[in-house]
Amino acid sequence: MKIALAQLNYHIGNFESNTKKIITAIEDAKQAGAELVVFAELAICGYPPRDFLEFSEFIELCDNAVKEIAYACVDIACIIGVPTKNPRIEGKDLFNSAYFIENGKVSQLVNKALLPTYDVFDEYRYFEPSVSFSCINFKGHKIALTICEDLWNINDNPLYTSAPMDELIKENPALMINIAASPFSYNHDDNRYKILSDNCKKYQLPLLYVNQVGSQTEIIFDGGSLVFNAQGEMLDQLNYFEEDIRIYEFNGTEITGHHIKEHNPSPDIEQIHKALLLGIKDYFYKSGFSKAVLGLSGGIDSAVVCALAAEALGPENVMAVLMPSKYSTGHSVQDALDLANNLGCKHETIAIKAAADAFDSMLEPVFKGLPFNITEENIQARCRAIIVMAFSNKFGYILLNTSNKSECAVGYGTLYGDMAGAIGVLGDVYKTQVYQLANYINRDREIIPQNSIVKPPSAELRPDQKDSDSLPEYDVLDKLLYQYIELKKSSRDIIAQGFDEALVRKVIAMVNKAEFKRYQTPPILRVSPKAFGMGRRMPIVGKYLS
């Protein structure tokens, strides 16, 4: 039996596009001799559809798409993810389901049992968990079909009290198929590989696993669909960060025609680079935008964002606006110009001194000679935001935010100033990782000027200002932040590792007090296991650790 895995990039709620893409894949798989083609979790509507699921019309459109897809399933069957109505009054109104379609109609149905509610997931908000389990049958083979999380309850600290495969194995299936929407983070491919391999070893069955690819606002799906033998050894892996369709031969016992392959994931920074490119590209394409604007300071953060945007969207679609203040150094302006020229993107220079001076003059009667402080610094940052937003309004550019995760964490940024934007490109990338990204971007030639990489970072909002005036050195700060944010360590635990106690308490207090700022920032492209945004939900007025 020939089975095709279709790893596709879906668009949430775009039923016309998704259905066309799915039917094209069915036809291509059929032409290549496949008898069954497998699509991802909630492929019909895209993942995560969130509160779209609460609209009855949305579910009707899903049903209509299924009918159209079923019509194409002649001489080939398909497995596809779709939300379905719960026929019982009790419980949630919907199931997260997989349809088995053959001979032009839905013939079998599988519902997801384990509904994640951690990090970016909130499935129990919408779906009822399945409590009944049975294999699907096709061409004389029993297939244990599961949906994403249903295979993840296998580690030493299970989140759930049962595992669907423990029930399905009782029917003596010959093959496992898992359809998924498994988001990217730079370490998730290793976890995913181990979980899936462990399932094969436990149940002594081969596995075909298909994942989504593409970005849905802040959540990025990396693809990397997998094929394992019954011993948990990898036989094949589909491409990362791009659509891919491949066909496999199942002889009733094993996947044949493939040799065992080593699991050799790409370096983290290479994965982050590809994920950010995909995140930018899909945010613009799926939102109907094409042109980006950003403030280009000559510093490393804006340089990296500009380089990523130029690669993702084309340099002709990127406008870099240089907005020097009276405190900006000549080399910073030159570094920004050099980058724009290296990339070939559009650029304009608009000095903010006149605007900042005007605000100072307007406010002088109220401030009555009070000394220069963060107020005047923030005014400069907000002058810049007004300028780039003027470009956005006048020319249809979408503003890219350039704040990094270290700054977002401790609140080192100006609300309605440099924290403005439609999408946060580096908000889940620590400052030390931004340097790694810059060097990776320069791997073949110098794109980002070396001076932007080696000079001490500065907001340049007062004379001789440096980030280190307000923050610990980033190599120390980022390690501390990682312990608190990603690993969720307490101040006591972090201090026990050898970090200075006063520094730990100061930094954690800064993180907690900046929560109100993060609530007002744009969605951030998620590349780590714990990103700011929907995956990290903290109270603004909470007292704990502040």
pLDDT at 546: 54
d(CA 305, CA 327): 23
Q: HSE, CB side, 13 Å, CA atoms: give it for residue 376.
A: 22
pLDDT at 369: 85
Residue 540, domain member (yes or no):
no
Which SS3 state, helix, strand or coil, does residue 361 take? helix
User: Residue 248 is encoded by which pair of tokens?
Assistant: 């496999």
Instruction: Report the length, in residues, of the chain.
Output: 546
**157 pLDDT exceeds 80?**
no
Residue 493, domain member (yes or no):
no
Residue 486, domain member (yes or no):
no
Residue 404, domain member (yes or no):
yes
**465 pLDDT exceeds 80?**
no
Residues 230, 372, single domain; the answer is: no
Pick the last residue of a domain from 422, 450, 471: 471
Residues 209, 71, single domain; the answer is: yes
**206 pLDDT exceeds 80?**
yes
- Is 377 part of the annotated catalytic residue set? no
Handedness of CA 521, 522, 527, 532 (dihedral sign): positive
Pick the last residue of a domain from 237, 264, 291: 264
Which positions ≥6 away from 104 have C-beta within 8 Å? Answer: 70, 71, 73, 74
Catalytic residue among 21, 78, 102, 112: 112
What value does the mean pLDDT of the chain take? Answer: 95
Across residues 430-441, what is the average pLDDT?
A: 98
**379 pLDDT exceeds 90?**
yes
Residues 216, 252, single domain; the answer is: yes
- Is 254 part of the annotated catalytic residue set? no
pLDDT at 523: 97
**464 pLDDT exceeds 80?**
no
Residues 259, 284, single domain; the answer is: no
User: Residue 325 is encoded by which pair of tokens?
Assistant: 């203040």
Residue 102 domain boundaries: 2-264
Residue 421, domain member (yes or no):
yes
Point out the least confidently predicted range of 140-154, 270-284, 455-469: 455-469
d(CA 145, CA 180): 11
Residues 277, 370, single domain; the answer is: yes
114, 135, 137, 134: which is closest to 124 by C-alpha? 114
Across residues 410-439, what is the average pLDDT?
A: 97
**468 pLDDT exceeds 90?**
no
Residues 327, 374, single domain; the answer is: yes
**Region of 134 on the Ramachandran plot (φ > 0 left; ψ -120 to 50 alpha; else beta):** beta
- Is 455 part of the annotated catalytic residue set? no
Residue 498, domain member (yes or no):
no
pLDDT at 545: 66
Percentage of the chain beyond pLDDT 70 is 99
pLDDT digits (tens, 9 = 90+) for 209-227: 999 999 999 999 999 999 9
Residues 211, 291, single domain; the answer is: no
Across residues 399-407, what is the average pLDDT?
A: 98
CATH code of residue 298: 3.40.50.620
The continuous run of DSSP H or E covering 376 comes out as helix 374-395
80, 29, 25, 5: which is closest to 235 by C-alpha? 5
Residues 239, 306, single domain; the answer is: no
Residues 406, 347, single domain; the answer is: yes
Across residues 307-321, what is the average pLDDT?
A: 98
pLDDT digits (tens, 9 = 90+) for 45-55: 999 999 999 99
**296 pLDDT exceeds 90?**
yes
Residue 124, domain member (yes or no):
yes
CATH code of residue 132: 3.60.110.10
Which SS3 state, helix, strand or coil, does residue 484 take? helix
pLDDT at 314: 98
Residues 159, 301, single domain; the answer is: no
Q: Residue 58, Cβ neighbours under 10 Å: how many?
A: 16
Residues 250, 282, single domain; the answer is: no
Residues 449, 464, single domain; the answer is: yes
Instruction: Answer for the pair 105, 70: CB distance below 8 angstroms, yes or no.
Output: yes
Across residues 341-364, what is the average pLDDT?
A: 96
pLDDT at 457: 81
First to last CA, the chain: 60
Q: Residue 360, Cβ neighbours under 10 Å: how many?
A: 15
Catalytic residue among 45, 73, 78, 148: 148
Catalytic residue among 21, 30, 41, 291: 41
Residue 218: Cβ-neighbour burial (10 angstroms; 0-12, 13-18, 19+): buried
Residue 532, domain member (yes or no):
no
Across residues 393-413, what is the average pLDDT?
A: 97
For the chain, how many structural domains are there in total? 2
Binning pLDDT at 50, 70 and 90, where does residue 24 land? very high
Which is it for strands 423-424 and 213-216: parallel, antiparallel or unpaired? unpaired
pLDDT at 335: 95
Pick the last residue of a domain from 448, 471, 494: 471
pLDDT digits (tens, 9 = 90+) for 226-284: 999 999 999 999 999 999 999 999 999 999 999 999 999 999 999 999 999 999 999 99
User: Residue 426 is encoded by which pair of tokens?
Assistant: 């580096």
